[in-house]
Amino acid sequence: MLSYLANPLRFMRFSRLAVPISFALGALMIGWSLYNGLFVVPPDDAQGGDLMRAMFTHVPSAWLCMGLYAGLAGASFIWFIWRHELADVAARAIAPIGAGYTALCFITGSIWGQKGWGAGWHNLILGDSRLMSVLVLFFLFLGYMALRAALETRQKAARAGAILAMIGFINVPIIKVSVDMWQTTTIHQPSSVISIGNPEPRDEDSGMNIIYLQQLLWGFGGHTLLAAAMVMMLMRSEVYTQQADRALALKLEGA
Amino acid sequence: MSPSPLLSAFRSSLSEAWANGAGLLLPLGFFTGTATLVPFALGPEAELLSRVGPGVLWLALALSSMVTLERVFQADLQDGALDLWLQDIGSISLVAAIKTLTHWLVSGFPLVLLTPLIGFGLGVPTEKMVPAMLGYAMGGLVFFLWGGVAAALSASVARAGLLIALLALPLYVPALIFGVQMVEAGFDSPSFLFLSASTLFALGVAPAAMGAALRLAAE
Amino acid sequence: MSPSPLLSAFRSSLSEAWANGAGLLLPLGFFTGTATLVPFALGPEAELLSRVGPGVLWLALALSSMVTLERVFQADLQDGALDLWLQDIGSISLVAAIKTLTHWLVSGFPLVLLTPLIGFGLGVPTEKMVPAMLGYAMGGLVFFLWGGVAAALSASVARAGLLIALLALPLYVPALIFGVQMVEAGFDSPSFLFLSASTLFALGVAPAAMGAALRLAAE
Amino acid sequence: MSDGALISGADLGAIRGERVLYRNVSVTAQAGDLILLRGANGSGKTTLLRQLAGLSEPQSGTIERDGLHHWIGHTNGLKAYETPRSHLSHWARVWGSEADIGLILNEVGLNRPADVPCRLLSAGQKRRIALARLLLEQRKLWLLDEPFNALDTDGQALLAEMIEAHRSEGGAVLAALHGSAPIEATREVTL
Amino acid sequence: MSDGALISGADLGAIRGERVLYRNVSVTAQAGDLILLRGANGSGKTTLLRQLAGLSEPQSGTIERDGLHHWIGHTNGLKAYETPRSHLSHWARVWGSEADIGLILNEVGLNRPADVPCRLLSAGQKRRIALARLLLEQRKLWLLDEPFNALDTDGQALLAEMIEAHRSEGGAVLAALHGSAPIEATREVTL
Ligand code: HEM
Ligand SMILES: Nc1ncnc2c1ncn2[C@@H]1O[C@H](COP(=O)(O)OP(=O)(O)OP(=O)(O)O)[C@@H](O)[C@H]1O
Ligand SMILES: Nc1ncnc2c1ncn2[C@@H]1O[C@H](COP(=O)(O)OP(=O)(O)OP(=O)(O)O)[C@@H](O)[C@H]1O
Ligand SMILES: [Mg+2]
Ligand SMILES: [Mg+2]
């Protein structure tokens, strides 16, 4: 699949259709999960009453911001090793989307947490390993974009960005395990869908209720498609501008 | 590279650190500043001071690492010394690593040595000293290594200062979390392991990254 | 000199401050750093943070003033811009003053503007804000003026960083003491008058001193 | 001070470290003069020029200047972030000159990289910016330290013309130089 | 790579900003060659030299090098706090050369300021330190960017001799140059 799309022309052909389709599908699925999540399912008071409805955006965005950074690092790695231009285009396109979803995860999380945390929640963000590591992820996305913007040529930007993106990847596993590893330093609730690390034993009812899980997964699928659509859209425009540059360069060579 | 080049890289960057003194500026300024300020800001209650001390030390480490290395790498770029280093292929990451370690030794390590002084001054309990010092030593090392990467990445950039802060801080945070915890909790806390781990990780990854970034800066 | 040269000196040093970003580095790094670290070091108790906050801000001011200006004047010396300024006899101290004020505006003033944000973040009581901001503004100005003198003095000297720290800090202390007291005690404290006095004194003396020092540096 | 002289230094001396670079050197420049400073590397040409420019105190002797002068040293006085245009318009403002920057940039052959930051420019292009400063404002006296360095043949011809034009307009030029000069001088001072 | 060539670059190209500096430039240097890079200010000589030295990636074309080379750029790679002696002994250690520093300093006429920190040295003296690096260690290929800049006539003669000697010992030299060359070249590449 990837190797098939590695060819820019094929990518452009594929994405011309893929973008609108995944936009539509994603919107539908998100709408569905939100409709159910906000109006249908009963609130779970153990989880903060109606506030917990933020979950149906929070968890998908949380997973996505990690996934997108993994994508950024992966693309950077591919470009760094094989100098594959499309990989760089992808990396460049992923960054803003990833930053967006990181922000979304943070906002929804704060909404969710608002009640439980009360007034001093800003201190909690700073003192909380999970929240902090997500904040770090956000800074990494910003730093990546700032670095690219600061460098003169695309080559330079690509190389510098790739170095940074690959280093920063270490943060993703940290985010994932931050809850299970350092219960002491987080109020964030542990992974209940997929948990790695060593979660401390729970009693039965604390596993996630199936009707929540459904909406959550709908939302996750929808947001994944939406993110994919936006990334591909940015990639397309980037490819166009690069083609334009090349044309200009050729013209200048002629002149 | 044979040891002797690295040795003389070390010697030269020692004299560099000593020459531009910037390394010493921050810790020194910081301590004089702290010593003057903390009592004013907080009043003399020892209990309170002993809790502010560590945070201030971490700040000093983070700052000196960022500012020192920015200056070093940018100077190398401007006066053409970087070009000379780059002639001998392959050496550059090693050289960068040594420069970083040297400047850590000059600007970061004094903080560690001063910990007991400050500590007693601020009334930190004695048994906390040793783990604290080790924590600062390792944490500072990580700061300098990642700070070096950030500085190298933005060496060729005009608006470097701001960028370095933006790039370095996220890289600092993990070591920071573990470091602070370790200084609090001592050796038998998991954070000791985590801090050691992230130190090793930085030692393994940062030099290569700096090398690549410096090659890029010279372009 | 007629206003227009000074105006464009201001404009150029604005773009300089923006370009080498060192000015922005420290406040920004410092705040992100502080915001990240202080709670780690102290735990989230608002009461404690609110009392550490001011001290940390003062440190930020003192440091950013020292580091920024050192870099500026040394760059002017190395790239020969100082020689150009010195051609128009008499202008130099004015120019130095303007450079200093500009960099205060860029690296010092943001602290003042950010005071409310940080303040609320750290839980500083609201009624303290206004005197605090004025205190930081004046104190920062004094820091930058004396810091500028120190930087100009050491522009031509090796080991500048260390020298600057040694020269500047004693000059800082009075403004520091009054400043902290004023932030604590508000307007109707004598320290308000003292701080204003030392600000005026610095404004009167520092520019001439900087001019002389820069002439010396160019020799 | 011999009347009509734009600058005159009398028995100037310079001591660096424990070394006497030169002593009893006298230089006077009338309108139309081109005075070349000659001497081996490290003989003190730059030092002397800086003393004449008032940038450093002579250890002995006296200097009298008549009005402002232009200075071009070994370094060009450029900032990494400046572009040729911004640099020139900056100094134009400082000196209160109305000169047309675009025209001057054209004259020194910098209209192409006019908006490229200096850290990306070539050595000769940077030198040409320094030359452009000479055209920003009419100043009778030019003090130039190895002005031909890094210039290509066109650039050197350009500078030679500029100097000739300046002299014919009643200006004077003091220049430190190595090797053969592309312009014949009124007088040479050898250190 | 044509055998015996110390360096050979084929159809090299450089793009800066949206400007194509040069394309399809090929350079090959055999033992004994002196190749001069010619071109106006900003034509791309430094860029080409840096590509040949491996300091920057060519936008097109390939470069093959045979062993290490010496590099002298527009800047001399000196630190303000270094003295000529300390600078040379530093690089001697880095390169593991046993050369006699005192002798070399003498050769390039720096024994007098041998222990004066570089920030106090004259432009030509700094340039001479860069030349001295060429004598620290035998390297077949020299890449020099306007090496004659800031040198006095003796210094230029000295460098010319050094280059001749290097060529006769089977070395090769690539140099960017303006104006008339004090040595006749094997070949000229004009950008
Ligand atoms: C700004 C605040 C918050 C941030 C930055 C944040 C971040 C994250 C992240 C990164 C994940 C994915 C972790 C994983 O997949 O293991 C996650 C999952 C989750 N978060 Fe949050 N969170 C925040 C606040 C909250 C709050 C207040 C709650 C509920 C009280 C909450 C409940 C959850 C739940 C239930 C999951 C799913 C866990 C799983 O099954 O993996 N979050 N959050
Ligand atoms: N502190 C010092 N101790 C000893 N010598 C010094 C000291 N400071 C400067 N010098 C010497 O003073 C001289 C300064 O010379 P100057 O720069 O004027 O030479 P120049 O004629 O311009 O040479 P060039 O042609 O290379 O530019 C140098 O020889 C330098 O070595
Ligand atoms: N980002 C950029 N945008 C536009 N032009 C650029 C950019 N970067 C570099 N340049 C141009 O590339 C050229 C670099 O040339 P280079 O330094 O190789 O010239 P050179 O032949 O060494 O000239 P000199 O003889 O003056 O040393 C300059 O003309 C410069 O203006
Ligand atoms: Mg000179
Ligand atoms: Mg060049």
The band of D38, judged by pLDDT with boundaries at 50, 70 and 90, is very high
| Ligand 3 binding pocket includes E16 (Cβ within 6 Å) | yes
- Ligand 4 centroid to Cα of residue D73, in Å, is 8
Element (H, E) at E64: strand E60-65
| Ligand 3 binding pocket includes E179 (Cβ within 6 Å) | no
- Cα–Cα dist C15/A181, whole Å: 47
- Cα–Cα dist C191/B6, whole Å: 55
Q: Are B38 and B52 contacting, i.e. CB atoms less than 8 angstroms apart?
A: yes
- Cα–Cα dist E74/D74, whole Å: 13
Task: Map tokens 């020692």 to a residue.
Answer: B14
Task: Map tokens 């001057």 to a residue.
Answer: D104
Contacts of D39 in chain E (CB under 8 A): 152
Does A119 score more than 60 pLDDT?
no
- Asked if B75 has any chain E CB less than 8 Å from its own CB, the reply is yes
Does B157 score more than 90 pLDDT?
no
Does D26 score more than 70 pLDDT?
yes
Element (H, E) at E25: strand E19-30
Does D132 score more than 90 pLDDT?
yes
Give the pLDDT confidence of E34-86 residue by residue, as tens digits. 999 999 999 999 999 999 999 998 988 999 988 899 999 999 999 988 999 99
pLDDT of residue D115: 92
Contacts of B158 in chain D (CB under 8 A): 80-81, 117, 119
pLDDT of residue C24: 53
Cβ neighbours for A248, distance < 8 A, ≥ 6 positions apart: E18
Helices then strands (H, E): number in chain B?
Answer: 9, 0
CA-D45 nearest atom, ligand 2: 21
Quick check: A132 and B171 CB within 8 A?
no
CA-A176 nearest atom, ligand 1: 16
- Asked if C158 has any chain E CB less than 8 Å from its own CB, the reply is yes
Half-sphere exposure of A255 (CA within 13 A, CB side): 10
| Ligand 1 binding pocket includes A250 (Cβ within 6 Å) | no
Does A201 score more than 50 pLDDT?
no
Contacts of B171 in chain A (CB under 8 A): 167-168
Mean pLDDT, rounded, for B45-55: 62
Nearest to C150 by CA among C134, C140, C163: C163
Mutating to test ligand 2, I would choose from E76, E105, E115, E122 the residue with most ligand atoms within 8 A of its C-beta, which is E122
Does C161 score more than 70 pLDDT?
no
Please list the alpha-helical segments (H only) found in chain A: 2-5, 8-35, 55-82, 85-117, 121-127, 129-150, 154-168, 171-181, 210-254
CA-D152 nearest atom, ligand 3: 25
pLDDT of residue C34: 56
For the ranges B11-15, D112-116, E171-175, which has the lowest average pLDDT?
B11-15
| Ligand 2 binding pocket includes E124 (Cβ within 6 Å) | yes
- Ligand 1 centroid to Cα of residue A227, in Å, is 19
pLDDT of residue D183: 83
Name the burial class of residue C3, with classes exposed (0-12), middle (13-18) and buried (19+) by CB atoms within 10 angstroms of its CB.
exposed
- The DSSP bridge pattern shows strands D172-176 and E141-145 to be unpaired
Which ligand is nearest the CA of A219, by number? Answer: 1
Name the burial class of residue D160, with classes exposed (0-12), middle (13-18) and buried (19+) by CB atoms within 10 angstroms of its CB.
middle
| Ligand 1 binding pocket includes A11 (Cβ within 6 Å) | no
| Ligand 1 binding pocket includes A192 (Cβ within 6 Å) | yes
- Ligand 2 centroid to Cα of residue D37, in Å, is 14
Nearest residue of E to residue C77 by CA position?
A: E119
Interface confidence, given as ipTM, is 0.86
Measured between CA atoms, how close is B8 to chain A, in angstroms?
A: 28
| Ligand 3 binding pocket includes E43 (Cβ within 6 Å) | yes
- Cα–Cα dist B219/C210, whole Å: 38
For the ranges A81-95, A102-116, C56-70, which has the lowest average pLDDT?
C56-70
E70: which 2 tokens?
């010496």
For the ranges A87-96, A193-202, B24-33, C132-141, which has the lowest average pLDDT?
A193-202
Mutating to test ligand 2, I would choose from D12, D16, D36, D146 the residue with most ligand atoms within 8 A of its C-beta, which is D16
The torsion defined by the Cα of D62, D66, D70 and D74, in degrees rounded to 10, comes to: -10
pLDDT of residue A200: 38
3-state secondary structure of D173: strand
Looking at the DSSP bridge assignments, the partners of residue D144 are D72, D175
Give the pLDDT confidence of B17-39 residue by residue, as tens digits. 777 665 555 556 665 565 555 55
Indicate the residue of D70, D77, D90 with minimum beta-carbon distance to C79: D77
Does C36 score more than 70 pLDDT?
no
The band of A208, judged by pLDDT with boundaries at 50, 70 and 90, is low
In this structure, chain C runs to a length of 219
Does E171 score more than 60 pLDDT?
yes
Give the pLDDT confidence of D54-109 residue by residue, as tens digits. 999 999 999 998 889 999 999 999 988 889 999 999 999 888 888 999 999 999 99
pLDDT of residue A122: 47
- Cα–Cα dist A162/D17, whole Å: 51
Mean pLDDT, rounded, for A194-203: 39
3-state secondary structure of A61: helix
Q: Are E152 and E109 contacting, i.e. CB atoms less than 8 angstroms apart?
A: no
Cβ neighbours for B135, distance < 8 A, ≥ 6 positions apart: B179, B180, B182, B183, B195
Chains that touch A (3 or more CB pairs under 8 A): B, C, E
Does C29 score more than 60 pLDDT?
no
Count other C-beta atoms under 10 Å from residue B193's C-beta.
12
Does D174 score more than 60 pLDDT?
yes
Name the burial class of residue E25, with classes exposed (0-12), middle (13-18) and buried (19+) by CB atoms within 10 angstroms of its CB.
buried
- Cα–Cα dist C77/C65, whole Å: 19
- The DSSP bridge pattern shows strands D34-38 and D187-190 to be parallel
Looking at the DSSP bridge assignments, the partners of residue C193 are none
Does E164 score more than 70 pLDDT?
yes
Does A129 score more than 50 pLDDT?
yes
Contacts of E95 in chain B (CB under 8 A): 5, 88
The band of A202, judged by pLDDT with boundaries at 50, 70 and 90, is very low
| Ligand 2 binding pocket includes E113 (Cβ within 6 Å) | yes
Give the pLDDT confidence of D107-124 residue by residue, as tens digits. 999 999 999 999 899 999
| Ligand 2 binding pocket includes D90 (Cβ within 6 Å) | no
Give the pLDDT confidence of A213-242 residue by residue, as tens digits. 888 889 999 999 999 999 999 999 988 888
pLDDT of residue A198: 34
pLDDT of residue D10: 92
- Asked if E20 has any chain A CB less than 8 Å from its own CB, the reply is yes
Q: Taken in order B2, B3, B6, B7, is the CA torsion positive or negative? A: negative
Contacts of A122 in chain C (CB under 8 A): 121
Contacts of D152 in chain E (CB under 8 A): 39-41, 178-179
- The DSSP bridge pattern shows strands E19-30 and E5-16 to be antiparallel
Query: What average pLDDT does the structure give for chain C?
Result: 76
- Cα–Cα dist C117/C129, whole Å: 10
pLDDT of residue C25: 52
3-state secondary structure of D64: strand
Q: Are C96 and C211 contacting, i.e. CB atoms less than 8 angstroms apart?
A: yes
pLDDT of residue A189: 67
Nearest CA residue ID for atom 10, ligand 3: E16
- Ligand 3 centroid to Cα of residue D83, in Å, is 13
Q: Are A120 and C44 contacting, i.e. CB atoms less than 8 angstroms apart?
A: yes
- Higher per-residue confidence, A206 vs A79: A79
Chains that touch C (3 or more CB pairs under 8 A): A, B, D, E
Count other C-beta atoms under 10 Å from residue C53's C-beta.
22
Nearest residue of B to residue C164 by CA position?
A: B25
Give Cα separations from A79 to A15, A73, C29, D18, E65 (angstroms). 20, 10, 31, 59, 26
Chains that touch B (3 or more CB pairs under 8 A): A, C, D, E
Give Cα separations from B54 to B142, B183, D30, D158 (angstroms). 17, 8, 69, 64
> From edge to edge, which strands make up the β-sheet containing E69-72?
E69-72, E141-145, E172-176, E34-38, E187-190
Q: Are E61 and E13 contacting, i.e. CB atoms less than 8 angstroms apart?
A: yes
Quick check: E20 and A252 CB within 8 A?
yes
Count other C-beta atoms under 10 Å from residue D32's C-beta.
15
B174: which 2 tokens?
């993990």
Does A1 score more than 70 pLDDT?
no
- Asked if A250 has any chain E CB less than 8 Å from its own CB, the reply is no
Mean pLDDT, rounded, for C148-176: 74
Q: Are A53 and A113 contacting, i.e. CB atoms less than 8 angstroms apart?
A: no
pLDDT of residue C136: 85
- Asked if C103 has any chain B CB less than 8 Å from its own CB, the reply is no
pLDDT of residue C39: 56
Please list the alpha-helical segments (H only) found in D59-152: 84-95, 101-107, 123-136
3-state secondary structure of D25: strand
The band of A195, judged by pLDDT with boundaries at 50, 70 and 90, is very low
Query: What average pLDDT does the structure give for chain B?
Result: 79
Half-sphere exposure of A20 (CA within 13 A, CB side): 3
Mean pLDDT, rounded, for B89-115: 84
pLDDT of residue D176: 95
- Asked if B158 has any chain D CB less than 8 Å from its own CB, the reply is yes
Quick check: B5 and E90 CB within 8 A?
no
- Higher per-residue confidence, C123 vs A165: A165
Does A255 score more than 60 pLDDT?
no
